[in-house]
Structure 1
């Protein structure tokens, strides 16, 4: 398995993974990423251009995607709760998804661990992530690799409440 920065040529595979994630969340009854509020091709193209998007590749196939967004996230600054170690120098992991056909094989944990290792090697020690309260799978993956619950954040979209976690 290879963790690498995404390129424009990965966009079709990335969008297929995100589309499968949107459908999976819908089947679970979660409002996360529904009704046009999920990651779009335009958003992912911009993330790739900013060099924020990473993919996990196995057997030359992209099987997971996430964007590592540096800097202050206004939504995270308005947390209902407390970050364990407040800092202005953090990275937020957004648009995290694993191909639905690879679900329940531990790839989410592997991918998230690899992202954390990459960030730590880059000198980033404050790593944050969020998910909807109905996204139990993502909560389990985040906790299993060392993220700790800090409170809730609210994105300015319908059903925008998210559980916020910080890596320690």
Structure 2
């Protein structure tokens, strides 16, 4: 059974393993530019951990406790880059939304779908961005009802252009 909990510094080693696995997965699936070696890493999540905005997904069916962490992501409630959306529009309000970043999941557990569905249960408006070459993530987002909104830009390794999506709970 999958569950979520707040990430702690004790999770850092496994989080770095998940980020490395995600980078390898991206490269193998035609997305070599989104995450560069060492980016992201668990050290970057320390502030989010302190603010209880970094989470891990656990699979209690995994025998090895160290391997039970099968996903990681951060959750926040603003993103300055989203103020400069280009080539489209957001479908929900600009003053209140959840943002998911730095999601990485071990293959074969359904953690990505689980994480996104849990966030959809808890929040009325979610925004997320990814690299245009991240076809698996774009497909997951569309499958879960997220809509393409346009392009946002960051100053970061691997280039800063990202496709942006949002999801608004039906009223």
User: Aligning the two structures, in what range does the TM-score lie when normalised by the shorter sequence?
Assistant: 0.7 to 0.9
Q: Which residue of 2 aligns with 1:57?
A: 58
Query: Which has the higher mean CA deviation after the structures are superposed, 9-18 or 129-138?
Result: 9-18
Give the gaps of 5 or more residues in structure 1: none
Q: Which residue is 1:167 aligned to?
A: 167
Q: What does residue 76 of structure 1 align with?
A: 82
Instruction: Tell me whether 1:109 sits opposite 2:113 in the alignment.
Output: yes
SS of equivalent residue, structure 1 residue 51: coil
Question: What whole-Å deviation, never above 9, does each CA across 1:73-115 have from its counterpart, x for those lacking one?
Answer: 111110012101232222210001101xx24x53321221123
Match of 1:28 in 2: 29
Distance, in Å, in 2 between the alignment partners of 1:35 and 1:15 is: 11
2-structure distance, mates of 1:167, 1:133: 18
1:91 pairs with 2:98: yes
How far apart, in 2, do the equivalents of 1:107 and 1:50 lie? 23
Structure 2 residues without counterparts, runs of 5 or longer:
none
Runs in 1 of length 4+ with deviation above 3 angstroms? none
CA deviations 1:9-62 (Å, max 9, x no partner) are: 1221111101111122223342001255x2123211222112111111012511
Partner Cα distance (2:37, 2:161) in 1: 15
- The alpha-carbon deviation at position 155 of structure 1 amounts to 1.0
The whole-number CA distance in structure 1 between the counterparts of 2:30 and 2:37 is 13
Structure 2 counterpart of 1:12: 13
Distance 1:167 1:93 in 2: 12
Q: Is the 8 A contact 1:151 1:164 kept in 2?
A: yes
**Following the alignment from structure 2 to structure 1, what is the Cα–Cα distance between the partners of residues 40 and 53?**
14
Residue 130 of structure 1 and its aligned partner are, at CA, apart by 0.6
